[in-house]
Amino acid sequence: MHYKAFDNIDEKKFSFVKKARYFFIFSIIITVLGIVTLGVFGLNYGVDFKAGSNVDISFKKDVSSQKAALETYLKDNGFGTPGMTFGAKRVTLRFDDVLTDTKEKALKQGIAEKFDKDASMEVNTVDVEIAKELQGNALKAVLIASIGIAIYVSIRFEWRFAVAAIVKLLHDAFIVISLFSIFRLEVNLPFIVAVLTIIGYSINDTVVIFDRIRENLRFAKLKTTEDIARVVDSSIWQTMSRSINTVMTVLFATVCLLVFGSESIRLFSIAILIGLVFGVYSSVFIASPLWLLLKSKQKPKTNVKSSAAS
């Protein structure tokens, strides 16, 4: 797709740099909000991070009329009253106690005999320790990866780009985590993978714009910070078609996963979706202006303050 308005850079055009302040504020607000909700409510951990077992039952026939029967069955057979999500052909049970082997077997048999002999189940039991460990491991990996990326970007570009890229990357990952906390969406092991995917995209996205800034800097006559600011703006505009088209194709993929994909990866898709939207937002509105902010501090010439902050 070609967006005509993106071509010629003139004064009338939207300046990302001049409006950067508002986006910085917006991002800071979301981040603070995220820190607060995370601090107060934490994440809504799913079975992977809590003791207990999760049972997903997929029925061949419609069992929506048998909800009460299922509840009674569970109660009468020593399964207690697990949390239940009831769909026409899909029921999710959530046990606070770990379902032992024998009980799991009994449940499978019971469901097959009493309700639907073709029922198919997924049973998950995770030791909290393992999930926490995986989470810690992923966190460690993200931090080390950030350092690695910072080094590469510093070598290929300069350290300011690296700082901006890392801030953006952590911003994107954190926003997804915050939104999952705010909306109380369930966090399970695939969520970790989703956050990693977002980070991958996030870097990819930023580097493309940075690359253009670097290229444009080479040919531009730079006297004042405003000159650099203009280069940043025009670089963002020049890569805008690409930014939009790429995020659109990936969005197609994610929305397809969300709509047609299996229930098991629904939350995974939602996480990716949020990450993509915020990823492209922060590539355009946060990363490059942030670089400019850092860069302008380097050359304390006239007008530095006003152009960097306004």
Partner 1 sequence: MNRRLLTFILIIVVSLGVVGGLSKWVVDDVKLGLDLKGGFEILYEAEPIEAGGKITKESLTETAKSLEARANATGVAEPEVTTEGANRIRVKIAGVTDEAKVRDVLKKPAELTFRSARGCAADAGYCKVELRGSDFTQNGADVRQTNLNEYEITIKMKSASKFAEITREVAKLSTSGTNQLAIYLDDRMLSAPNVSSEINSTDASITGNFARAEAYDLKDTINLGALPLKLTEKYTQSVGATLGKKSLDETVEAGAIATVIILLFMMFFYRLPGIIASISIIVYIWLLLLGFNLIHATLTLPGIAAFILGIGMAVDANIIMAERIREELRSGKSILSSQKSGSKHSFRTIIDSHVTTAIAGLVLFFIGVGSVKGFAVILLLSIILSVLTNVFFSRALLTLLVRSGIVKKKSNFGVKESEVRAL
Contacts of partner 1 in 257-286 (CB under 8 A):
257, 259-265, 268-269, 272
Task: Say if CB 235 and CB 213 are below 8 A apart.
Answer: yes
Instruction: Give min distance, CB of 31 to partner 1, in A.
Output: 21
Instruction: Give min distance, CB of 75 to partner 1, in A.
Output: 23
Instruction: Give min distance, CB of 177 to partner 1, in A.
Output: 16
Is 56 or 186 the residue whose CB approaches partner 1 more closely? 56
In the block, tokens 């603070």 appear at: 32
Q: Quick one: which segment of 65-73, 124-132, 216-224, 282-290 binds partner 1 (CB under 8 A)?
A: 124-132
Q: At 189, which helix (H) or strand (E)? A: helix 189-219
Q: Quick one: which segment of 73-81, 130-138, 173-181, 217-225 binds partner 1 (CB under 8 A)?
A: 130-138
In the block, tokens 């979706």 appear at: 273
Instruction: Give min distance, CB of 143 to partner 1, in A.
Output: 9
Residues 5-24, interacting with partner 1 (CB under 8 A): 7
Is 33 or 138 the residue whose CB approaches partner 1 more closely? 138
Does position 155 interact with partner 1 (CB under 8 A)? The reply is no
Instruction: Give min distance, CB of 86 to partner 1, in A.
Output: 17
Q: Judging by beta carbons within 10 Å of its beta carbon (0-12, 13-18, 19+), is residue 249 exposed, middle or buried?
A: exposed
In one-letter notation, the amino acid at residue 147 is I
- 142-151: long-range contacts (C-beta < 8 A, 24 or more apart)? 142/173, 142/195, 142/196, 142/199, 145/199, 146/170, 149/203
User: Which of 10, 11, 76, 129 is the binder for partner 1 (CB under 8 A)?
Assistant: 129
Q: Quick one: which segment of 17-25, 211-219, 281-289, 302-310 binds partner 1 (CB under 8 A)?
A: 211-219
Q: Judging by beta carbons within 10 Å of its beta carbon (0-12, 13-18, 19+), is residue 257 exposed, middle or buried?
A: middle
In one-letter notation, the amino acid at residue 290 is L
User: Which of 70, 189, 213, 293 is the binder for partner 1 (CB under 8 A)?
Assistant: 189
Instruction: Give min distance, CB of 309 to partner 1, in A.
Output: 29
Is 53 or 225 the residue whose CB approaches partner 1 more closely? 53
Instruction: Give min distance, CB of 28 to partner 1, in A.
Output: 25
Give Cβ neighbours of residue 112 (< 8 Å, ≥ 6 apart).
Answer: 119
What is the spatial distance between Cα 43 and Cα 228, in angstroms, rounded to a whole number? Answer: 41
Structure tokens given for 269:
């898709």
Task: Say if CB 213 and CB 159 are below 8 A apart.
Answer: no
Task: Say if CB 23 and CB 280 are below 8 A apart.
Answer: no
What is the spatial distance between Cα 14 and Cα 92, in angstroms, rounded to a whole number? Answer: 49
Residues 33-92, interacting with partner 1 (CB under 8 A): 56, 58, 60
Is 156 or 223 the residue whose CB approaches partner 1 more closely? 156
User: Which of 31, 44, 216, 241 is the binder for partner 1 (CB under 8 A)?
Assistant: 241
Is 201 or 285 the residue whose CB approaches partner 1 more closely? 201
Give Cβ neighbours of residue 93 (< 8 Å, ≥ 6 apart).
Answer: 54, 55, 56, 57, 74, 82, 83, 84
Does position 105 interact with partner 1 (CB under 8 A)? The reply is yes
Does position 154 interact with partner 1 (CB under 8 A)? The reply is no
- Kindly determine how many residues on this chain lie close enough to bind partner 1 according to the rule CB under 8 A: 77
Q: Quick one: which segment of 24-32, 225-233, 255-263, 301-309 binds partner 1 (CB under 8 A)?
A: 255-263
